[in-house]
Structure 1
Amino acid sequence: MLYGVMKIAIGHPLRAAFRPWVEGLEHIPKQGPAILASNHLSFSDSFFLPAVLDRKVTFIAKAEYFTTPGIKGKLTAAFFKGVGQLPVDRSGARGAGEAAINSGIKVIEAGELFGIYPEGTRSPDGRLYRGKPGGLARIALATGAPVIPVAMIDTEKIQPPGQVMPKLMRPGIRIGKPLDFSRYTGMEHDRFILRSVTDEVMYEIMKLSGQEYVDIYATAAKRQIAEAAKKQQHGGS
């Protein structure tokens, strides 16, 4: 019920203000489970995608969003629950990964849509980075759910880092045909199969988005960018 209220309160104004264009809505099943695997350009991706779909989409969110004390913390927690976010504690990398996978499996077993960003974090420069094989592929192989590739387009231009007011422009969403990985059923612990499944999904996302692909993880790219900025700062001082 809360999700429905939030969809009206946030989704409808979002669609009216930004008028996002969508291609491939017919690939989203009317019922039954599916995994929506998307590129990740902006914080707003988790709002624009659910706003254009009739069905509820559940994403993973940092546990801190749900545990912050005070009135602001409670409002934040209510907001994220309302927009279909599940809390996952990321303090321990391995434990957090398992928690995210188990949460995703539960969503799929309930017959719902589960949204995931295979890159693991937002792109630092608008390019598409290597997908992490742990979450997406393991959930897909453990449940047999189809994987639907999704490309968010231009969402990073709406509110670049440091810009307070969002820019009113039309972002896009391209939804690809479902991918069936049932041929790998029971192989969710084979790292070569996990890598192969993830790379196949990322290739489809790349075709949909038109992004330049970079074969390193986005987290590594962020470290490189931060180190380069630090060197430049020291060199200029």
Structure 2
Amino acid sequence: MLYWFLKYLALGPLLRVIFRPFAEGLENVPRQGPVILAANHLSYSDWLFMPLVMPRRVTFVAKAEYFESPGVKGWLQKKFFGGTGQVPIDRTSGSAAAGALKTQLRLLSEGQVCGIFPEGTRSHDGKLYRGRTGVARLALEAKVPVIPVAVLNTDIIAPPGKVFGRFARPGVKFGRPLDFSRYEGLESDRFILRAITDEIMYEIMNLTGQEYVDLYAQDAKKRDKELAEAAAAEREKAESDEVWDELNE
């Protein structure tokens, strides 16, 4: 009930009026039954705008810490994340990835819609990065279709490192459902998992128009940070050498 309160009576109307989000391809989302929505990840606001344009509840898994903080702030945080369609990762599993998979399998077995960002983390430069194979394993084990999703312009509204950037009209495009039942029983084959994941990312790329980089987003962030630090060090050295030369003229 809290989810629908937030969506239609509180947060939802405010976001609709201010940002006027649009949707394309909603007819590709089944009215009932389990399905996975696999989307690109540009901003922390993606998980707000994607469900906003849908008539069905979309559930994401989130860090358990969001639901376990003490005090009034922790209680409000728990209600907010729970109310906006997020559930805590099952921490009885050996790792966060295993816990997320277990939680999502349970949700899909209940006929729910699960949202997932295959890149694993937000893109820091607007490009689309290599997908993690968890989405493929989830699709095969749950035996459900995957709908590729493009979330647009959220990096303008809330760019990486900022709470708010500038106004833009966010959009969500839903592609045709992808059926991977032909691979049933092969959820432990890493080559099959990679092939499925790459197919999903290809469809997301076609929807978003993003430049695709065959590198994990986390690795790309690390690489770009190291390059920026090296460039800064070179500039600092050049400036220092210039000052030294001036002093010795």
**Common fold, TM-score beyond 0.5?**
yes
CA drift of 1:68 comes to: 2.2
Using the TM superposition, give the Cα deviation of residue 153 of structure 1 relative to its aligned residue in structure 2, in angstroms.
Answer: 1.0
Q: Distance in 1 between matches of 2:205 and 2:160?
A: 24
Structure 1 residue 163, shift from structure 2 partner: 4.2
Q: Distance in 1 between matches of 2:97 and 2:161?
A: 30
Contact 1:62–1:89 under 8 Å retained in 2: no
Partners of 1:98 and 1:221 in 2: how far apart?
24
Identity, in percent, stands at 55
| Residue deviations 1:108-156 (CA, integer Å, cap 9, x gap) | 10001000000000011000000011x2111100111010000011110
Give TM-score scaled by structure 1 length.
Answer: 0.94
The ranges of structure 1 where at least 4 consecutive aligned residues each deviate by more than 6 angstroms after the TM superposition are: none
1:212 is displaced (CA, Å) by 0.3
Alignment of 1:192-207 (within 5 A): 192-207=191-206
Q: TM-score, normalised by structure 2?
A: 0.89
- Comparing 221-230 and 51-60, the one that deviates more: 221-230
Amino acid at match of 2:2: L
Q: Deviation at 1:64?
A: 2.2
Matches of 1:196 and 1:87, distance apart in 2: 29
Per-residue CA deviations over 1:84-118 (Å, capped at 9, x if unaligned) read 1122279x9x6111111111111110001000000
Provide the residue aligned with 1:100 in structure 2.
Answer: 100
Q: 1:208 and 1:73, CA in 2 relative to 1: closer, same or farther beyond 3 A?
A: same
Q: Which runs of 5+ in 2 are unaligned?
A: 237-249
| Structure-2 separation of matches of 1:187 and 1:115 | 23
* Contact preservation (8 Å) 1:137, 1:198: yes
The one-letter code matched in structure 2 to 1:45 is D
- Distance, in Å, in 2 between the alignment partners of 1:124 and 1:64 is 24
Alignment partner of 2:95: what SS?
helix
Match of 2:244 in 1: none
Residues 161 and 129 (structure 1), Cα distance of their counterparts in 2 relative to 1, 3 Å cut: closer
Structure 1 gap ranges (5+): none
- Structure 1 partner of 2:240: none
2:144 matched residue in structure 1: 145
Aligned to 2:32: 31
CA pair 119-79 structure 1, distance change in 2 beyond 3 A: same
1:115 partner SS: strand
Q: Residues 226 and 70 from structure 1, CA distance in 2 versus in 1: closer, same or farther, beyond 3 angstroms?
A: farther
Q: Does 1:113 align with 2:152?
A: no
Q: CA deviation at 1:78?
A: 1.1
The residue type equivalent to 2:225 in the other structure is A
Matching residue's letter, 2:55: D
Q: Which residue of structure 1 aligns with residue 225 of structure 2?
A: 226
Code of the aligned partner of 2:159 = P
